[in-house]
Structure 1
Amino acid sequence: MTSQATTPPRFDAAFRTRLDALFAWRRDVRHFERGPLAPGVLDDLLAQATEAPSVGLSQPWRFVLVRAPERRADIRAIFETCNAQALAGQASERAGLYARLKLAGLDDAPEHVAVFVEPEPEAGHGLGRATMPETVAYSAVMAIHTLWLAAAARGVGLGWVSILDPQAVRAALDLPERWQLVGYLCIGYPAEPSRVPELERKGWEHRRPLADFLLTR
């Protein structure tokens, strides 16, 4: 049997500098140009997403391309309901700012991809998830992050819409009941590229230093 292993590439300082820039420019995009992605780009991004690690090599992610206008309208309606509830739950001093935030790219992004997880995938034979079954969903999150970085490297923006009812989204897309929604992604070329998160630019929150989260035991 021949091994598929090869000599790993050497990543020099110039590459690491570029990689640092990629991390900095990978932002959650909310404002998109309406034009389509270049041919083949989305297929390439989804293929790269499947290079992500997964518990037990279970590959539990399920990608759903949401393109039918009526399906998108259903998702938009679900968002409006959930967004209104979220606004009502904001403290009075922050409600005005929340109302001014554009929290979805649902109207403009040319591509919508719903990422679900199969909670009991046959692949992987259960390895690594007996004591932490949530690692199956974590694997799908890793796939999203891999896709996100690959998109940023191509000048493509991604917005993760989380103000949605997962069960309502699954029903609207007519998917198996056992599938669990992990993320609803809007994908397209960003209208306002920036390396500073929009929520930071608009005063909602700011990024904290590592020291605030680091413990030693």
Structure 2
Amino acid sequence: MHAYSPEEIAAVYRAIEERRDMRHFRPDPVEPALLQRLLLAAHHAPSVGYMQPWRFIRVTDAALRGRIQALVEEERSRTAEALGERHDEFMRLKVEGIADCGELLVAALGDKRERHIFGRRTLPEMDLASLSCAIQNLWLAARAEGLGMGWVSLFDPAALAELLNMPAGAKPAAILCLGHVEAFYDRPMLEQEGWARRRPLEELVYENGWEHGAPPEQSE
């Protein structure tokens, strides 16, 4: 009764299946009206207690974009060192498209979040979960519109917050590279590069409790 048409349902599932964490972009600008639609899609995300913790900073200054990329490169090197024997393998991966994408956004958690306790009294991290829903909305809408998006998390949050003059209590959670692409990856890039694989769903769905003896998490 409340379902969409078969064609609309197929489109939703197609966007979910074909969404990719993109690293390769064309420099073409994103049309302002399209960017507004995508941000509005993000703003329609669910949030715990209707707190709407998401904040999006659009980075239009080229020098600032360069400084953000430098922060990512610093953390990239530290991550490579922490990975030990996978250091060289990691350094061969393309982990961001900051210099190339048409739009660069920083998704952040707003300040004064501590006053929101509805749904967060025992799970304060639900503010981040809510922001993640907004990012996923943006991601799926971008894919439907033919744009690629990449989520970059290789940065020191305090350093990025200072660079963006964020108020005390606010916290950056993601650098989002958004823009036109030549093509979408056939499979997730890290799977194509042999870094990890998509685990079978049956390994991750339990019934009536935690199933012991499940395969160990992959080391990354």
TM-score, normalised via structure 2 length: 0.88
What letter matches 2:57 in structure 1? V
Give matches, 1:90-109, under 5 Å: 90-92=83-85, 94-109=86-101
Give matches, 1:173-188, under 5 Å: 173-188=164-179
Across the aligned residues of Structure 1 and Structure 2, the Cα RMSD in angstroms comes to 1.8
Q: Contact conserved, 2:111 with 2:168, CA < 8 A, in 1? A: no
Q: Contact conserved, 1:24 with 1:195, CA < 8 A, in 2? A: no
2:58 is the counterpart of 1:65:
yes
Q: Contact conserved, 1:83 with 1:163, CA < 8 A, in 2? A: yes
The alignment-based identity, stated in percent, is 35
TM-score, normalised via structure 1 length: 0.90
What letter matches 1:147 in structure 2? L
* CA positional deviation for 1:13: 2.5
| Aligned twin of 2:112 | 120
CA distance in 2, matches of 1:120, 1:177: 9
| Aligned twin of 2:122 | 131
- Which 5+ residue runs of structure 2 have no aligned equivalent? 209-220
Deviations 1:65-89 (A, max 9, x none): 1111221121111111111111122
SS in 1 for 2:176: strand
CA distance in 1, matches of 2:94, 2:7: 36
CA distance in 2, matches of 1:40, 1:178: 31
- Equivalent residues, number: 208
CA distance in 1, matches of 2:135, 2:60: 19
What letter matches 2:109 in structure 1? V
Q: Contact conserved, 1:34 with 1:108, CA < 8 A, in 2? A: yes
2:21 is the counterpart of 1:28:
yes
Deviations 1:44-102 (A, max 9, x none): 1001111000111111111111111221121111111111111122232x333212110
